[in-house]
Amino acid sequence: MGYIEDMRNLVGNHPLILIGSHAIILNEQDEILLQLRTDFNRWGIIWRRLRI
């Protein structure tokens, strides 16, 4: 199980405060660096969720 699922099991339906960020990284040819998401098997913009 992942972090969010673990937290959801602890707090039930109470609101969770989640913080995340996105980044667009370009190389010298203005190509965008993408991240392969293994959960959906799709390419996307780099992002992370912070654990508080």
Residue 51 confidence (pLDDT) above 90: no
Q: In this predicted model, which residue has the larger pLDDT, 2 or 26?
A: 26
- In angstroms, the CA 38 to CA 47 distance is 13
Residue 52 confidence (pLDDT) above 80: no
Residue 7 confidence (pLDDT) above 80: yes
Residue 13 confidence (pLDDT) above 70: yes
Q: How many CB atoms neighbour CB 35 within 10 A?
A: 14
- Please state, rounded to an integer, the average pLDDT across all residues of the chain: 87
- Which tokens is 36 given? 């392969």
Residue 25: which pLDDT band, with cuts at 50, 70 and 90? very high
